């Protein structure tokens, strides 16, 4: 796809399979060397900015985290001419201040996944490829999101460590204690390899996380999907406010 207009990519996670305020003028299902992306790209405008939206788990939501074709998704954005991506992720809270329904803008991550294809540079190489991943999230995109949240009066935790686990099951209480000792503040299942593939593709990428539950063992309560959906519904409106304002400031 040939488009000289600057395009932002938005990856919708659990609870965000579509954006009603996105004015769609094209729906495109690209072919990639890694197969089909999770869903078609919805191309249009949001907040006055050209946007490509992709539902990470498909539409309807039926692709579990460990089965997402992250390579195809990121390559689809690259083909569309996207140069910056905001990824929306639903996460569990480890840090006591990051309460359910709050928003977190992580600045670091730890990868606990296994068996996922995590590079575009695996086979038929003329030389090996190693990308710097010291700071996994693009600071320019993070600053844009911080400014957008401030402009809308939306509370936002401006840093934190995202622990990415394999899924699709939730973690044990012992695993969460281990993650906490490792320095993790939130836990989810989709940050990797999405973030590193974006880095390999030279796309500025940041995560806007919505906390949907306390992590296992952080309370005496059992984690239920009803509680997760309640917190999704409580926080997704503020996610959209930040997204729209961020794009209007781009």
Q: Show the 3-state SS of the chain.
A: CCCCCCEEEEEECCCCCCCCCCEEEEEECCCECCECCCCCEEEEEECCEEEEEEECCCCCCCCCHHHCCHHHHHHHHHHHCEEEEEEEEEEEECCCCCCCCCEECCCEEEECCCCCCCCCCCCCCCCCCCCCCCCCCCHHHHHHHHHHHHHHCCCCECCCEEEECCCCCCCCHHHHHHHHHCCCCEEECCCCCHHHHHHHCCCEEEEEEEEEEECCCCCCCCCCHHHHHHHHHHHHHHHHHHHHHHHHCC
For residue range 137-158, what is the model confidence (pLDDT) as tens digits?
999 999 999 999 999 999 999 9
Which comes out higher in pLDDT, residue 108 or 17? 108
CATH of domain 7-119+129-248: 3.40.50.1580
- pLDDT bin (cut points 50, 70, 90) of residue 1 is very low
Q: Of 179, 229, 199, whose CA–CA distance to 87 is shortest?
A: 199
Question: What integer pLDDT is reported at residue 184 of this predicted model?
Answer: 98
For residue range 120-138, what is the model confidence (pLDDT) as tens digits?
777 766 667 788 999 999 9
Question: What integer pLDDT is reported at residue 6 of this predicted model?
Answer: 85
| Residue 230 backbone zone (phi > 0: left; psi -120 to 50: alpha; other: beta) | alpha
Q: Which residue has the tokens 């992250």?
A: 70
Question: What integer pLDDT is reported at residue 4 of this predicted model?
Answer: 55
Q: Span 228-244, mean pLDDT?
A: 94
- pLDDT bin (cut points 50, 70, 90) of residue 86 is very high
For residue range 20-58, what is the model confidence (pLDDT) as tens digits?
888 999 999 999 999 999 999 999 999 889 999 999 999
Q: 86 and 46 in contact (C-beta within 8 Å)?
A: no
Q: 89 and 188 in contact (C-beta within 8 Å)?
A: yes
Q: Which residue has the tokens 């939306």?
A: 154
Question: What integer pLDDT is reported at residue 8 of this predicted model?
Answer: 95
Q: Span 202-215, mean pLDDT?
A: 97
109: its two tokens: 């991550």
Question: What integer pLDDT is reported at residue 11 of this predicted model?
Answer: 97
- Label the pairing between strands 82-93 and 7-12: parallel
Question: In the chain, pLDDT over 70 holds for what percent of residues?
Answer: 96
Question: What integer pLDDT is reported at residue 248 of this predicted model?
Answer: 86
Radius of gyration of the chain (CA): 17
| Whole-number Å distance between alpha carbons of 11 and 53 | 6
Tell me the whole-structure pTM to 2 decimals: 0.93
Predicted confidence (pLDDT) at residue 18 exceeds the cutoff of 80? yes
| Whole-number Å distance between alpha carbons of 104 and 212 | 11
Question: What integer pLDDT is reported at residue 126 of this predicted model?
Answer: 67
For residue range 185-203, what is the model confidence (pLDDT) as tens digits?
999 999 999 999 999 999 9
| Whole-number Å distance between alpha carbons of 179 and 175 | 6
- Label the pairing between strands 82-93 and 103-104: unpaired
């Amino acid at each position: 796809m040939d488009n000289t207009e600057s395009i932002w990519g938005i990856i919708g996670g659990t609870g965000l399979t579509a954006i009603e305020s996105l004015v769609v003028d094209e729906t495109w299902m690209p072919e990639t060397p890694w197969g089909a992306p999770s869903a078609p790209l919805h191309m249009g405008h949001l907040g006055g900015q050209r946007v490509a939206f992709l539902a990470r788990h498909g539409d309807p939501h039926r692709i579990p985290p460990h089965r997402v074709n992250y390579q195809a998704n990121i390559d689809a954005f690259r083909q569309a001419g996207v140069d910056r991506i905001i990824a929306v992720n639903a996460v569990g809270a480890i840090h006591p201040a990051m309460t359910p329904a709050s928003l977190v803008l992580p600045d670091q991550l730890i990868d606990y996944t296994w068996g996922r294809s995590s590079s575009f540079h695996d086979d038929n190489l003329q030389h090996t490829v190693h990308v710097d991943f010291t700071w996994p999230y693009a600071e320019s995109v993070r600053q844009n999101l911080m400014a957008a949240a401030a402009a809308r009066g939306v509370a936002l935790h401006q840093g934190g460590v995202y622990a990415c686990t394999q899924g699709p099951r939730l973690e044990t209480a012992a695993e969460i204690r281990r993650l906490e000792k490792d320095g993790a503040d939130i836990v989810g299942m989709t940050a990797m390899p999405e973030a590193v593939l974006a880095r390999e593709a030279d796309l500025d990428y940041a995560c806007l996380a919505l906390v949907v539950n306390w992590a296992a063992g952080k309370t005496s309560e059992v984690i239920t999907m009803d509680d997760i959906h309640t917190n999704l519904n409580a926080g997704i409106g503020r996610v959209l406010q930040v997204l729209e304002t961020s794009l209007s400031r781009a």
